[in-house]
Structure 1
């Protein structure tokens, strides 16, 4: 028998699978051998993938359904036939895992890593992200199985949260379960497939590396062809990282090796756990279980105390009469980050950095690996941040966004953008930037500090870190000895729009991968008796997922329109969306809501929204926070909700919403028309603002006095106490009479110069004496206001003779002009061309006479922004200069004198000469858009590819394969040039435009 055709031994098969699995991963096989020469080798091929769910996942799921174990004494029902105690579900769970681990060791070998990364996919840091969520997977499966998206099964996959009557639809909220029902009817095979655990890992690596549907579809096809419906269900759970088999990572790691959980806590690496702890008989030494430089650890976390009082929270911190002190810190709205720093002479500057997030994502590429890292958003600014003699350290803290213009913390969602901007413009003194606030140190000069108390660690931190203002700072705390110190601080940080507080025990050690009572979170929504309490009507519902699947788990609440709206012609039953609440409900609350609303819910149809009853943020076109189902207010219920504060929001029709809303109770004693309305809300908001202002003034006056104790009180609105009649508010009195006797019809929201919803605009007009109508009448002298071409505006334009429609700008200009001068109607401004949205010829002629040739008004003062726009429209003197005017020369002169000219879209591609290499099938519209970006950004589009002054060549292709071929052809043509242009994909142009600056071309090179 020839060597080629001889059967392979199990060892050879395992080696081949090993090569396939790790050869294309983050490390090549050679690098793997060099880094892990003593890693364990399996003697046989990995188990079939089907064995994972048959021997492990399914038994664990069945065990999860058993009731919790009884306490002592053991009841007779819990005893076996001979009086022995039955095995508890917890013990059964451990037996299931132990059996599977034992089988793997005997049938496969000592390397458990291929299986463990599928068992704990959310803890696997070696595989890239898939970029796939439920909706994307649903679309892939619909195309893969070639079913109509509007069929019962297609609709069930694409609307997986909605319940229904089909078998698939009954799995509402469980996406993987719904996929199983649909796939079961069309699976390529009934019996389990032949894919091994190792092969599944190989294909999952390919799925993680795929970009876009064109590359994802072949991988999904392979899984679909070789797996049955149940295997596909578990595969989808692995991709979504939603296993929920009833056992935590601690259980799996402990049963693999006694030190498994300890090593994972200090390394965050499943690979290290499996390859260093493959023999249960070999234990880690004490120093091996501690934090290590340049190894990401699992940080200590703060505990939740949902219903505890402040006094109870402080008791949890183990205060004593001898040492009653505890610490209060502001909870920062950022990303938990650990920074490792070591001396390294091979790095310019002599210090090397690594940055990791709480979930062990490596952010060194973003924040920098050294003082001289040109791509660093932070490290390059930390040269003076450490005290002399600090050789190495590990700092624990929060990465936040700081805005130097306002000298305040910016919302967390801006952090990545700010860091990327800082990467490109490191010495720009304006705009948000990343700031690392350090609150703990766990390693210093080769010594782990986790066994020392927080008090001692903080002393070490203060000596080791000097800090760099607004780049890296030590987070400050306030020492307290009484729970009474908590509430004033919490009210202060809520007023400043911060997230909450953290209480810390200064006597505690640092406990890795632990959430315990040494650190306690205090957020406004965790507290009872805090913030505003409001009675609002439920107008929409959202279906949940997981154990809430198929039922309504959160609700959209609204405020009924005020008397002014009704007098102006609005439906008395109409409500404006206000906030969405899903926290604080108990099972009995959900049951009560179902009982009172059953049969009254209607599916939301985006093409025909119930505008006569409900108005959403963004109007009928955008429909922000659109619910799955809606309910008429008169058929609905009233709930009482509490919140930390009221905050502006364009996501809701009211223009405001609640921060941290939580359900308090059902108000079955209230009807929909007795709850809070828009006028009542305005009164509440004004009162809270006034109280806050008075409190601040009082604090300033009495800051040196000892504050007197005041009992906490809750603001209860619209009769929140049973038996108290609801407050009926009078119609607001006008602030001015400028619009008195005038009738308005507002047809859309305002976009410029101030963004306001339709309701806010109507309220503004009414506040100043105007009357509101909901039916436009162009023949009655009514002023019709709109800033968008909505349906009603379009129909008015089509009518014979056209229509005069005024922009909201006219309203704002009228009010701005009378500010401080009284409210006499003689200040009412004449219309100008800038005030007209659409108009008849006669109106345009009259309006043209009210401003000069450049648009400068004869009747009113213009602000700075409007004056700038007018000046832009004036002919420039250089246009008449015989020598001409070279804008690039002018900008060069500015730069020579130290003036920055970047940061605007008009200067992105200055000095760039760009050629577009187009593949077949590329749409003309897409090419035109890219060329416009270059031209608008100050660049030059070059048609001739032989022009050797080209600086960038943008490859534009219809798919990845065509892109690679086209890029190869371009490279061959320009490779001999003296100065070879950078070859990039079209995404480079789009990202430059988005960031308003040139981004590095390297990551955009076609692969």
Structure 2
């Protein structure tokens, strides 16, 4: 490089540094704080290269239809998978940046994923404000068509309607008509960052207008469109934050989890050859981190206990009450001058310091002004993990999470009131003390540090209590207690565990619903909608929900339809959050890139409209159970799904996936197997030995002493069997079973290596264990042979076609993994075969196995109607059909109670005459019920296997008003 060129480049770099203020921190201050940070050797790339070499190629790759890529080969980009292409695009851009600019990638990364940039202040700009600024910048009339199109960007009715619902695209359409520049601008990435820093410090519209005018002069419409996406922090570039971080450095995601800082990720991991060591991967004071999250399990309590007790010499686990609040981390630092600084962050890394306080002397603090005596004098700095809840001083109890911000604002205005509601910080972990991170210490040791470091402040900041447990009964007793107190549930923790910045099974949350089959809320994506009729006509009244195919895909498989449980307010919120994003379903050109239905060309359960998963919302749904189906792509669907809430805290890519669901399903089935095993070991039934007729028989030329006494058929003709020795429930020997097979046309061999052989066995003998280990053969119980012969006789007598029965789960001693789902699909959820006729004995056995099923989930006439697509949740005459209601209302509520009872009966519900009725699903209390009576009811209900819901009478009246059964949690007294 020539000297004058070097001089010009150096001047350009210095100019960028002067413009780029790093949030008000000077270059010298940054060098002091980050002495090893990388410095670029040249000025940053032109801003438009972000578009041409990164954003647009990623979007083009995302829009590539499934199956368009050629089969994978060893070389050549044309034969790469979309995921490989995505990584390649990002790698090329990063490589170009290193070559042309240097190792400091932070200026680019904060523009690529601006939603993760914690170093730049929020702009305080929403779509409507930006629309007004653009109208002024381009100088058009406020009432012109283009101005209205910008201001009403969600509405599709304007001429520029292709961008409805996408504000940045709508801006592009309008700006394209009036560009100052048609070619790419000459702003660099560094200059754009400097201008955005300036914009983030402005609050007045006139000041913001000046910056937008500068952007308008220096950028073309496409660049402006992407700039607006960065300001709104709505990029959607076709690559996730995880993908970008993984490509940048293998430890990038780990560092981001403990720091929430793109700056640290770029400046500490600029060399791909270097790895994180020691304290580099530890949390830091005044730096937000990803907290440890509790996992959930649907396995038995016994399995939960086993997970919590890996050490036989230390079998204690901790049981905490699950709090209904907002996860919060508190950072406190005492400066040499004596001044104390605080910072608060939520689980989503939102800064709440403005609300709860920045110091003891913060006159606008809802919390910190009350914590002057909360910390031991020796504590210089500390990080606490806990839950911020709302405490009602008059009730002396925690109240619903939704009141937290209101309570905090009220506390800011009336900080020393002893009545009303206030924020209370319940601390359950200590992660940092006096410059020492504690995440690699055990929970037990961290608890000791917590108790030694803080002094609880009554109803302001308290240490969350726990009880020790060792057995299943300890969990059950505590769960009954919190149910009686109308609490959220439990969190069971392993006191020997270290702190992890992810969801982990060291902490497991347990709610009462979790212990019922699929009672746990399922967080699923809405992917389609169906127009209603009658009072719901003209709008979407029910929704198709789906499961993500995998974490890297934007495709979803159809799973179930839901419409029940939604109030008018829920519909309004869904419409608002998805406004402008719905598209009409085109059966000739279905959106296969995003949604896959069952039936392929037949498109089972196709919606009237559909929505891209990435544009949609996550809803929490609960259901009675899961059943097989051919109507939904997953092969399963929910029975009696009911809407519970909109999950505003979840993004589309964190919704339930196909893999997550099958893992959940397997846990439920394992729990059933465990329960069945416990039941079988307690029952001992005697069976009379069957009488047999003797009939001589020879197999392979050898006379057999044991003879088969059943009919002779050709049912097994063409099939080859290998019968393993050992005992079976039929008390038939190996020779008996071989005789049965031979008499009904089957061939017998003495090895499992023969092609297409059927292995018959009921015992885990050495040979069976060898076959199972080989992983290639199923082992079928001997009962299947008898069932095949018996069904053949029934079919013959009825004149029906005769065939060998397909395997059912009850027929299998061992099933290879690939056949599990296929075999499970041959019976319904109760184990009733789709192909085998019931006998009196088998019907009795089936009914016996159904005895413990929740009556609310039992199969009935209404379920049959629903299975044929009839939505009974829209019918007031059937909305209470699965409820048994007991009314416990004082006399002064008698009139309302009479009307509510009539509503329940009209909705096909059952009224219980006594609180002792074990089938009760709901206890309705009146507005004037005493607190002591409520406590008495909850205490009595808590010991029941299926805990009834205790709800206010207003719940019945609101259900009647909305013509659907609403979620009860909003109406808990």
TM band (smaller chain): 0.5 to 0.7
- Is the aligned partner of 1:668 residue 2:870? yes
SS in structure 2 of the partner of residue 131 of structure 1: coil
Contact 1:132/1:240, CA 8 A, preserved across alignment: yes
Task: Describe the superposition over 1:144-164 as per-residue Cα deviations: whole angstroms up to 9, x where unpaired.
Answer: 445566766555444444446
Q: How far apart in 1 are the matches of 2:78 and 2:604?
A: 40
Q: How far apart in 2 are the matches of 1:691 and 1:173?
A: 45
Q: In structure 1, what is the equivalent of residue 659 of structure 2?
A: none
Report 1:91-130 matches (<5 A): 91-130=84-123
Question: How far off its partner does 1:121 sit?
Answer: 0.6
Q: In structure 2, what is the equivalent of residue 213 of structure 1?
A: 205
Task: Describe the superposition over 1:308-331 as per-residue Cα deviations: whole angstroms up to 9, x where unpaired.
Answer: 567699489566695776655444
SS in structure 2 of the partner of residue 78 of structure 1: coil
Q: How far apart in 2 are the matches of 1:554 and 1:215?
A: 49
Q: In structure 2, what is the equivalent of residue 242 of structure 1?
A: 234
Question: How far off its partner does 1:421 sit?
Answer: 5.1
281, 288, 295: which one aligns with 2:280 = 288
Q: How far apart in 1 are the matches of 2:289 and 2:499?
A: 12
Q: In structure 2, what is the equivalent of residue 982 of structure 1?
A: none
Q: In structure 2, what is the equivalent of residue 270 of structure 1?
A: 262
- Is the aligned partner of 1:435 residue 2:424? yes
Contact 2:260/2:349, CA 8 A, preserved across alignment: yes
Q: How far apart in 2 are the matches of 1:83 and 1:274?
A: 31
Question: How far off its partner does 1:67 sit?
Answer: 7.4
SS in structure 2 of the partner of residue 169 of structure 1: coil
Contact 2:490/2:510, CA 8 A, preserved across alignment: yes
- Is the aligned partner of 1:14 residue 2:13? yes
Q: How far apart in 1 are the matches of 2:934 and 2:402?
A: 34
298, 301, 304: which one aligns with 2:290 = 298
Q: Using a 3 Å threshold, how does the CA distance of structure 1 residues 365 and 145 change in structure 2: closer, same or farther?
A: closer
Task: Describe the superposition over 1:441-490 as per-residue Cα deviations: whole angstroms up to 9, x where unpaired.
Answer: 11235442212333443344334433111111112345566779879978
Report 1:547-696 matches (<5 A): 642=642, 668=870, 670=872, 674=877, 676=879, 688-690=922-924
Q: Using a 3 Å threshold, how does the CA distance of structure 1 residues 114 and 85 change in structure 2: closer, same or farther?
A: closer
Contact 2:923/2:948, CA 8 A, preserved across alignment: no
- In the superposition, the TM-score normalised over structure 1's length comes to 0.52
Q: In structure 1, what is the equivalent of residue 745 of structure 2?
A: none
Task: Describe the superposition over 1:279-330 as per-residue Cα deviations: whole angstroms up to 9, x where unpaired.
Answer: 444544312221233443332234577xx56769948956669577665544
Report 1:373-412 matches (<5 A): 376-386=365-375, 390=379, 392-412=381-401
Contact 1:339/1:355, CA 8 A, preserved across alignment: yes
Q: Using a 3 Å threshold, how does the CA distance of structure 1 residues 676 and 192 change in structure 2: closer, same or farther?
A: same
215, 221, 224: which one aligns with 2:216 = 224
Q: Using a 3 Å threshold, how does the CA distance of structure 1 residues 525 and 689 change in structure 2: closer, same or farther?
A: closer
SS in structure 2 of the partner of residue 9 of structure 1: helix
57, 60, 67: which one aligns with 1:59 = 57
Contact 2:16/2:191, CA 8 A, preserved across alignment: yes
Contact 1:326/1:506, CA 8 A, preserved across alignment: yes
Q: Using a 3 Å threshold, how does the CA distance of structure 1 residues 46 and 708 change in structure 2: closer, same or farther?
A: closer
Q: In structure 1, what is the equivalent of residue 330 of structure 2?
A: 339
Moved more, 227-236 or 336-345: 336-345
SS in structure 1 of the partner of residue 247 of structure 2: helix
SS in structure 2 of the partner of residue 10 of structure 1: helix
Q: How far apart in 1 are the matches of 2:230 and 2:303?
A: 38
**Number of residue pairs the alignment of both structures matches:** 631
Structure 1 residues without counterparts, runs of 5 or longer: 71-75, 560-574, 599-638, 647-663, 717-728, 733-755, 761-1007
Q: Using a 3 Å threshold, how does the CA distance of structure 1 residues 456 and 592 change in structure 2: closer, same or farther?
A: farther
Q: In structure 2, what is the equivalent of residue 135 of structure 1?
A: 128
Q: Using a 3 Å threshold, how does the CA distance of structure 1 residues 701 and 228 change in structure 2: closer, same or farther?
A: closer
Q: Using a 3 Å threshold, how does the CA distance of structure 1 residues 702 and 416 change in structure 2: closer, same or farther?
A: closer
Q: How far apart in 2 are the matches of 1:490 and 1:182?
A: 59
Task: Describe the superposition over 1:653-706 as per-residue Cα deviations: whole angstroms up to 9, x where unpaired.
Answer: xxxxxxxxxxx9896254757555996657789994537979985974996x99
Q: In structure 1, what is the equivalent of residue 464 of structure 2?
A: 475
Q: In structure 2, what is the equivalent of residue 914 of structure 1?
A: none
Q: How far apart in 1 are the matches of 2:64 and 2:608?
A: 32
Contact 2:375/2:454, CA 8 A, preserved across alignment: yes
SS in structure 2 of the partner of residue 690 of structure 1: strand
Q: How far apart in 2 are the matches of 1:504 and 1:88?
A: 41
Q: Using a 3 Å threshold, how does the CA distance of structure 1 residues 537 and 455 change in structure 2: closer, same or farther?
A: farther
Q: In structure 2, what is the equivalent of residue 454 of structure 1?
A: 443
Q: How far apart in 2 are the matches of 1:97 and 1:537?
A: 51
Q: How far apart in 1 are the matches of 2:301 and 2:535?
A: 35
Q: How far apart in 2 are the matches of 1:381 and 1:39?
A: 40
SS in structure 1 of the partner of residue 20 of structure 2: helix
Q: In structure 2, what is the equivalent of residue 509 of structure 1?
A: 498
SS in structure 1 of the partner of residue 924 of structure 2: helix
Question: How far off its partner does 1:119 sit?
Answer: 1.2
Contact 1:354/1:363, CA 8 A, preserved across alignment: yes
Contact 1:401/1:410, CA 8 A, preserved across alignment: yes
- Is the aligned partner of 1:710 residue 2:708? no
Contact 2:483/2:938, CA 8 A, preserved across alignment: no
Report 1:292-331 matches (<5 A): 292-303=284-295, 308=298, 314=304, 322=312, 327-331=318-322
Q: Using a 3 Å threshold, how does the CA distance of structure 1 residues 542 and 236 change in structure 2: closer, same or farther?
A: farther
Q: Using a 3 Å threshold, how does the CA distance of structure 1 residues 715 and 702 change in structure 2: closer, same or farther?
A: closer
Task: Describe the superposition over 1:567-615 as per-residue Cα deviations: whole angstroms up to 9, x where unpaired.
Answer: xxxxxxxx987866869x99769988875799xxxxxxxxxxxxxxxxx
Q: How far apart in 2 are the matches of 1:698 and 1:406?
A: 14
Question: How far off its partner does 1:44 sit?
Answer: 1.9
Q: How far apart in 1 are the matches of 2:573 and 2:596?
A: 15
Task: Describe the superposition over 1:628-677 as per-residue Cα deviations: whole angstroms up to 9, x where unpaired.
Answer: xxxxxxxxxxx97636699xxxxxxxxxxxxxxxxx98962547575559
Q: How far apart in 1 are the matches of 2:253 and 2:368?
A: 32
Contact 1:188/1:224, CA 8 A, preserved across alignment: yes
Q: How far apart in 1 are the matches of 2:500 and 2:477?
A: 30
Q: How far apart in 2 are the matches of 1:343 and 1:523?
A: 39
Q: Using a 3 Å threshold, how does the CA distance of structure 1 residues 537 and 758 change in structure 2: closer, same or farther?
A: closer
Q: In structure 2, what is the equivalent of residue 658 of structure 1?
A: none
By relative contact order (CA 8 Å, sep 6+), the higher-ranking structure is 2
Q: How far apart in 2 are the matches of 1:97 and 1:365?
A: 37
Task: Describe the superposition over 1:759-783 as per-residue Cα deviations: whole angstroms up to 9, x where unpaired.
Answer: 99xxxxxxxxxxxxxxxxxxxxxxx
What is the aligned-residue RMSD (CA, Å)? Answer: 5.5
SS in structure 1 of the partner of residue 125 of structure 2: coil
- Is the aligned partner of 1:79 residue 2:72? yes
Report 1:519-918 matches (<5 A): 519-520=507-508, 538=536, 540-541=539-540, 642=642, 668=870, 670=872, 674=877, 676=879, 688-690=922-924, 697=933, 700=936, 709-711=944-946
Q: Using a 3 Å threshold, how does the CA distance of structure 1 residues 243 and 669 change in structure 2: closer, same or farther?
A: closer
Question: How far off its partner does 1:32 sit?
Answer: 4.2
Q: In structure 1, what is the equivalent of residue 732 of structure 2?
A: none
Q: Using a 3 Å threshold, how does the CA distance of structure 1 residues 391 and 188 change in structure 2: closer, same or farther?
A: closer
Contact 1:340/1:353, CA 8 A, preserved across alignment: yes
Q: How far apart in 2 are the matches of 1:644 and 1:489?
A: 26
Q: Using a 3 Å threshold, how does the CA distance of structure 1 residues 321 and 390 change in structure 2: closer, same or farther?
A: closer
Question: How far off its partner does 1:385 sit?
Answer: 3.0
Moved more, 35-44 or 284-293: 35-44
